[in-house]
Amino acid sequence: MPRDDYKIYISIVSHNHGELIKNLDCIKNLSQEFIVVIKNNCYDEVLLDYLKDSNAYLINEEYNKGFGYNNNVVFSYCRLQLNMQPSDYFIVLNPDLVIKNSSIKELVNKMHCSNVKAATINLYLDDKLHDYDYSVRHFPRLYDFILSLVLGKNKTKIDKSIITNPTEVDWCAGSFMALSSHVYQSIQGFDTGLFYVLRGYRSLFSFKEKNIGIIYYPEITGIHKAQHKNRSFFRNILFGMLKVYSDLCLLKTG
């Protein structure tokens, strides 16, 4: 089936990321070939000025909302205002992530040809592609959460260096997720009460319930200009993680 049978929509949520978006200057290129929608989460004069020279759409309302709510707003906007169809693709992209247009086209073409409904890519933390961003993980257990928060050890990390072919993974970060429009709607989007750092876990439950595999493509890369959080920050979300784990238990017993 030819590539023109579908369109690619990209959702980017900015929370005072205007200066970063301007410096990375990735959105202008993306908006030349894809339908890019920016959800502004606070007033940002730098972002407004930058977007004047791009083809991106801007949703500049409903400030101070969460990750799930904002991306659901973008999805609804794409579907109701921009005519996104179930056969199209919806990509959730962090504002601090740099990716080539060709990489997105390659990914979606592979998803389309293999009938893959949810996917992610190989993210790095540096321009030379040496330092992995551990954006794909094994399914977390309560023990893993506590070990990570208390001792700083994380056993859910997958050694990406040994993966050379597209592989199904338990979990991927919300910094880059590619989904078929039909699947995003079928799982009813992201949980709107979800704390930002935990955004990937709860959506995973919906994927599992519907037997939707997340495919990791190691050959397709992007650069995540992420700022590392300190351990005290992660301690603050312990209760959120415990809630995630309780949901997992309900899923397994339900």
223-250 pLDDT, tens per residue?
Answer: 999 755 544 444 444 555 555 555 555 5
With 90 as the cut, is the pLDDT of residue 27 above it? yes
Q: In which band, very low, low, confident or very high, does the pLDDT at 213 lie, cut at 50, 70 and 90?
A: confident
* Domain assignment of residue 247, yes or no: no
Confidence of residue 197 (pLDDT cuts 50, 70, 90): very low
Q: Is residue 152 part of a domain?
A: no
pLDDT value for 249: 56
Q: Which of 121, 152, 149 is nearest to 244 (CA)?
A: 149
Average pLDDT, rounded, for the chain: 83
Average pLDDT of the segment spanning 214-227: 92
Strands 167-169 and 214-224: antiparallel
Residue 177 lies in a domain: yes
Residue 217 belongs to some domain of the structure: yes
Q: Please give the average per-residue pLDDT across 108-128, as a whole number.
A: 96
CA diameter of the chain: 52
What integer is the mean pLDDT of 117-142?
A: 87
Mean pLDDT across the stretch 20-30?
96
* 72 lies in some domain: yes
- Is there a domain that residue 246 lies in? no
pLDDT higher at 89 or 159: 89
Lowest mean pLDDT among 119-128, 177-186, 190-199: 190-199
The amino acid that residue 76 corresponds to is S
Identify whether 251 is part of a domain.
no
Do residues 195 and 171 touch, judged by C-beta distance below 8 A?
A: no
Domain containing residue 180: 3-140+157-229
Q: Which pLDDT band, with edges at 50, 70 and 90, does 116 fall under?
A: very high
Domains in the chain, number? 1
Residue 117 CB neighbours (<10 A): 21
Q: What is the pTM of this model?
A: 0.84
pLDDT mean over 75-94: 98
What is the mean predicted confidence (pLDDT) over 135-151? 66
Region 84-95: what's the mean pLDDT? Answer: 97
Q: Is 237 helix (H, G, I), strand (E, B) or coil?
A: coil
Helices (H), the chain: 18-24, 27-33, 45-50, 67-81, 101-114, 142-151, 181-186, 199-209, 231-235, 238-253
Residue 250 lies in a domain: no
Domain at 7, CATH number: 3.90.550.60
d(CA 124, CA 249): 32
Q: Would you say 14 and 41 are in contact if contact means Cβ atoms under 8 Å apart?
A: yes
